[in-house]
Amino acid sequence: MNAARQVSAACDCAALFRLGRDVEGALRMVELFDAVMPQVEPQAGAVLLQAMLAAQQRQDWLALADFLEYELRHLIEQAPRAEM
């Protein structure tokens, strides 16, 4: 999955949380993180993941959606890309 598709997937996942579809959003979030985390800086990824999990535990779906749409997007865009 390339960076543009990852950003799109993050925005789609955020939309699910904003619509109250938290179970579906959580499933997609796991798939997204499996694709994104190996590419981002480990410390920044861990900090963001911790914040997102805390929001999920509080059932703060809007904060979680914001993390997905803005913070994760920033990490994806800042991730180094392998030259092909």
Q: Which residues contact 60 (CB under 8 A, 6 or more apart)?
A: none
In whole angstroms, give the CA distance from residue 64 to residue 82.
Answer: 29
In whole angstroms, give the CA distance from residue 68 to residue 48.
Answer: 9
Which pTM was predicted?
A: 0.87
- Is residue 2 packed enough to be buried (19+ CB in 10 Å), middle (13-18) or exposed (0-12)? exposed
Q: pLDDT 10s per residue in the chain (84 long)? A: 788 999 999 999 999 999 999 999 999 999 999 999 998 889 998 999 999 999 999 999 999 999 999 999 999 998 876 433
In whole angstroms, give the CA distance from residue 61 to residue 51.
Answer: 12
**What is the residue extent of each domain of the chain?**
3-78
